[in-house]
Structure 1
Amino acid sequence: MKKVALLLLTLTFFLITPPVHAATPVVRITDIPHTDFQGNFRDNKLALSLTPDGELGKALARASTTTTWVIDAALLDEIIDMSDGYQYLGKEDPIGANVALLWLQQLKVLTEGAPVVALPYGNPDASLARSLSRSELTLYSELGRSKLEEFFGRAVISQNGWGKGKSQLSSEFKALYKSNRFQLANLARAISAEEIPLLRARLGRILNPDLSSQDRAYFSYQGRDATNNIVKKLRVVSGRYQLTSETVKVPLTIINDFETDTVLTLSLLPMNYRIQVESLYDIVIPAKSRIQIAVPFMVIASGSTVVEAQLMTAEGVSIGALSKLSLSMTVIDSRVAWFTTGAGVILFLAAATQTARRIRRSRREK
């Protein structure tokens, strides 16, 4: 039965031929995201949409010889991923994979020689993206163009103004988006890893104007969690330390779970006067490593304090999350120590002298 279904789908797809005259000169290939930030399919709606009776299947049928194609490369990436074979709810869906493959083949046929416009990757609301970060919109636009040019094997149009709709993203999620974007942009200054620009690109989907309120919340929190996970791959390990002398070297651990080396500064900032410590520069942190460095601390006074540890670039750009080192100092001042020791010696000598006198007195009395 599966083979029959695939044969019928194949015949149906290739019976789609562009009419000589079309009511709509522009065909838009856009949709909401169907994969989460880990690349897993949230549902199987995309497979249904790609069938001849689905929204994206019908989009192909609306094509004409004069059609201009407006395409979101992020959606195309999902369809390509689906065509290679995919799982939904832990099960393979070979029919969905073949539907995706046939749809992609038909898209290439119908777009041959026609103008193709690349939307910014993820189809974000361009005006909102520009207001939140102009540089990020540039990244989305360049990625959308390069992805489509790779797929079609030719140049495509990349210019603003082809987007449609306004995002209803709340102030809370706008702030969260900006925080995530900022952390990833800074991390990219220290680490050259493909996963960082990939995650930055996926954040653009949060600004997609077609998302429902539930989808906006879902992808915003997903973006936050994905950003936190990737930022934690380069970090100083927080900890508690007991210091019992005026000068002591504290072993601090730095972790780099990325596949590339990096060289960074370790900024150390005490929260009060009880401790003195200097930042360390040009620390080489190898890929996939866990290194330990001995940091000299000088205790000024007993008590407790917190030292904020932050990895930074040579230019002073913060990398990753702030770590906190909790220190407890139980150190006696050297002058007090000398005084106490001296007093103890004097008392000991006095006691010894008195004991000797008692012994001599006792002997005379006998």
Structure 2
Amino acid sequence: MNRTRQHRRGVVTRDATGSGSAEAFVLIAIATILITRLYLELTGYPQIGGGNLHIAHALWGGALMMLALLTGWLLIGAGARVAAVVMGGVGFGLFLDEVGKFVTKDNDYFYGPAAEIMYILVVVILVGARVLRDFRPLTGRECLASAAVIAGDGVARGLADRRRELGLALLVQAEQAGAEPTEVGPVRALLVSAETTSDRLHRLQQWVPRLIPGFFRSPRWVPVVGWLLVLSAISGLFFGLLGIALGGYFYEDDDITLRLDGMNPASVILVVNAAVTSMIAVPAMIARRRTDRLWPLRWLRNAALLFTFLNAFVDFATEGFAALLSMSIGLFTLAVLTYQIDAAVRRTAGEASESPQVPPGDHALQP
């Protein structure tokens, strides 16, 4: 029976680390859009070319996406995949930044609904990657295949210790899911015998947090940024719905100016985003007082990620550089939560190494 289940391949075979690459691709694309808009604003929207010639940066984006595909097709190894993700993310960001030109007759770069188009594409990619990863646990075949991919990288370029440990953890899960020992054994042998290489990216990830002053590494920041996120989301939802209900509202005197937008695509996106963020962040903040597990922090980070970057799309399109302040606050929140999650994972791993070995949990599958 186990062997029959093991050989049911299904429609697709998922990579255990694929969702992390997809999310990195989207984050790099978002950062590219924001950096591009900032650069163009500061430089007065220069024309690349001469005379009547203008080389749109969407073309550079297409070239980078082409290079990303070629890199993935032609080269083997984790480094090649990282390069493909970076080039693809930058290329997609440059392409998506000019979407307004492709959906208007007059090639309007500042076309208002371009922000909504970006929003939809980003949500589709992020949600699609999450659904594909989480709609059911990885099968034994998928764990075995993912470990075999890592082993293949080891044959080609060697393995960093972190990648080797990930591959071995996947094999443990594959065995628990019914993988045949005759299939697991050769993959494990390749993982164990692969040459050890340095992991520059992992070292960089470990080095960067050391630059953060100790004051900002305190766990006391978690409730501060968490409840500020909840307050921002709920207030955004309240005032957004109020503005839509009133059909827009504007008040100004010597001391205060209040403007509430009526029904329009941007206000609807902000309201929906605030509602979803509230539904994620409020349960996470309540749960983190009742459990030491990591999922409340991860939910909170997901809420901050959604609220920060999707709001930034609309804010930069409608408010210009006024969006930089809220963007900076959101990035600070993300940095605090990410650091605390990484610290908790390291503590959990340290406790596990001092106790009898247990099957790895979901954290072992993160890239």
Question: Where is the strand percentage greater, Structure 1 or Structure 2?
Answer: 1
Coarse TM-score class (shorter-chain normalised):
under 0.3
Larger relative contact order (C-alpha < 8 A, sep ≥ 6)? Answer: 2
Q: TM-score, normalised by structure 2?
A: 0.22
The normalised TM-score by structure 1 is 0.22
Larger radius of gyration: 1
